[in-house]
Amino acid sequence: MPIYEYRCKQCHTIFEKLQSIGASNENVICPECNATKPEKILSAFSSSGFMSTASSGGSCGPSGSPFT
Ligand SMILES: [Zn+2]
């Protein structure tokens, strides 16, 4: 199973979650503030500067999986 990286929309905490491929963020809960549905960060973008580019996009599709 791959490890997905999430950023909480409430407290902006970034954490990792082990999930099966294609899993949504519906059941992911922030370890800091217990907020649900954090923003998924694609590992391809998490090399260095993702924190400055991850927001203000609004291009999140209907939970489509990039792996299929
Ligand atoms: Zn949080």
Strands (E), 1-68: 3-7, 14-18, 39-41
pLDDT band at 57 (very low <50, low <70, confident <90, very high): low
Cα gap 42→58, rounded to integer Å: 15
Q: What is the pTM of this model?
A: 0.59
Residue 34 contacts residue 59 (beta carbons within 8 Å): no
Q: What is the CA radius of gyration of the chain?
A: 11
Q: Cα of 67 to ligand 1 centre, how many Å?
A: 26
pLDDT band at 46 (very low <50, low <70, confident <90, very high): very low
> What residues does the ion ligand 1 have nearby, CB within 5 Å?
8, 10-11, 13, 30, 32-33, 35
48: tokens are 């260095």
Q: Cα of 55 to ligand 1 centre, how many Å?
A: 15
